[in-house]
Amino acid sequence: MTSTPPRGRPRGFDRDTALDTVIRVFWRKGYEATSVRDLSQELGIGQPSLYNAFGGKRALFTEAVGVYDHTYGGFIDAALNEEPTAALALRRILTEAPQRYTRDGLPPGCLIAGGDAGTDDEDVHHELSELRQHKTAQIAAKIDDDTAAGRLPEETDSAATAAYVMTVLSGLAQRARDGVPQHDLAAITRMASAALP
């Protein structure tokens, strides 16, 4: 009498390792260009096992973005939390971005900046747009704190300055995806930093 192996995840399946693989696929290809077949092939599991472990592609993307933000992103939050002033935080963010977007062994660019490129899925676009807007608001709040404390001029436009920094980061991420080397990206950030309050 032969026993039938239980259905579900394959033996030896490590969910965290699998999720890291998924993050890199979405990071490299974006949501729209990534198929369920791509994901199952990268993980070496069947599509039913993929659904059992993570749910559909949409749910998997949401989980991947959340883990990405804490594991591979996070440098914006760290700078805002650790630096005593907005000026230092913003310059640190711009200084670190070229290295962050060109790390060896990882896809270039940024999943949050470009993961929704080319998609017609409004939920995906909304999810990443909300994340980008949240980070912009965090930067603006740091600037407002400094303005209120007299460390920046009263006329400092926190919303425009925050949007400027996020726009530079988005451009850097795209340039990194285009293969622009780190030292060229760093030259851009030096110019961008000089324009900050």
Over residues 20-59, the pLDDT tens digits come to: 999 999 999 999 999 999 999 998 888 888 888 888 899 9
C-alpha–C-alpha distance, residues 170 and 73, integer Å: 13
Out of 1-5, 12-16, 139-143, least confident range: 1-5
Over residues 113-131, the pLDDT tens digits come to: 999 999 999 999 999 999 9
C-alpha–C-alpha distance, residues 80 and 90, integer Å: 8
Phi, psi of 154 (to 5 degrees): -60, -35
Confidence of residue 2 (pLDDT cuts 50, 70, 90): very low
Question: Of 68, 80, 85, 87, whose CA–CA distance to 24 is shortest?
Answer: 68
Most confident of the following: 39-43, 73-77, 159-163: 159-163
Query: How do the domains of the chain map onto residue ranges?
Result: 15-67, 73-195
Higher-confidence residue of 132 and 50: namely 132
Residue 57 in contact with residue 78, Cβ under 8 Å? no
The mean pLDDT of 160-182, rounded to a whole number, is 97
Report angle CA 80, 86, 91 to the nearest 5 degrees. 85
Residue 156 in contact with residue 143, Cβ under 8 Å? yes
Question: Of 66, 67, 70, 91, whose CA–CA distance to 79 is shortest?
Answer: 91
Over residues 79-124, the pLDDT tens digits come to: 999 999 999 999 999 999 999 999 999 999 999 999 999 999 999 9
C-alpha–C-alpha distance, residues 128 and 58, integer Å: 13
Fold of domain 73-195: Tetracycline Repressor; domain 2 (1.10.357)
| SS3 assignment, position 104 | coil
C-alpha–C-alpha distance, residues 176 and 5, integer Å: 46
pTM surpassing 0.85? yes
Torsion of CA 39, 43, 49, 50, to 10 degrees: -30
What is the reported pLDDT for 103? 96
What percentage of residues in the chain have a pLDDT greater than 90?
82
| SS3 assignment, position 101 | coil
Fold of domain 15-67: Arc Repressor Mutant, subunit A (1.10.10)
